[in-house]
Amino acid sequence: MKMKKYVAAAMAAAMVLGCTPAIAATTSATETTATQEVTVKKPAKVTLTAKKKAIKVTIKKVAGVKGYQVRYATKKSMKGAKTVTTSKTTVTIKKLKSKKKYYVQVRSYKKVDGKKVYSKWTTVKTKKTK
């Protein structure tokens, strides 16, 4: 609001003196602050490998991300899912039940101004433990 009053006063002074008000073009650009929307790509490929009472998740690296979040559940709807956060492209989910089907999803994240910005979840992958 103060900026608008300043611009109006400067324009009025410029008109009285017979000058062209060049300040109007520069202040309007600084007056509106643009918020930049950050998008994060989701992992392109996720591979699951069955282990005894565990599942190894391998993620194809996404450029510019800080880490990945892996969620897994025994239901395809991901109800009651547990989440593991990692900065590596490989994570082994342990302490699972043997010969049970698990559903896994992965998403990547970046840190912007101290906050995590997440990508969309990948499609649900299925693997049965040994």
Exposure class string for 59-83: b at 16+ Cβ within 10 A, else e: beebeebeebbbbbbeeeebeeeee
Reported as a single tens digit per residue, the pLDDT across 29-71 is 444 445 678 899 999 999 999 999 999 999 999 999 999 999 9
Can you give the CATH number for the domain in which 76 is found? 2.60.40.10
Beta-carbon count within 10 A of 115 CB: 9
Provide the whole-model pTM: 0.71
Do 89 and 60 fall into the same domain?
Answer: yes
- Give the model's pLDDT for residue 65: 96
Quickly state the pLDDT bin for 95 (edges 50, 70, 90): very high
Mean pLDDT, the chain, whole residue set:
84
Quickly state the pLDDT bin for 102 (edges 50, 70, 90): very high
Domain that holds residue 114: 46-128
38 occurs within a structural domain = no
Asked if residue 84 has pLDDT above 60, the reply is: yes
Do 25 and 52 fall into the same domain?
Answer: no
What contacts 51, CB < 8 A, 6 or more positions away?
A: 92, 129, 130
Q: Name the one residue in this structure whose structure tokens are 């109800």.
A: 79
DSSP 120: P
For 104, phi and psi rounded to 5 degrees? -130, 140
Residue 1 Cα distances to 6, 7, 24, 25, angstroms: 9, 10, 15, 17
Q: How many domains does the chain have?
A: 2
Quickly state the pLDDT bin for 19 (edges 50, 70, 90): low
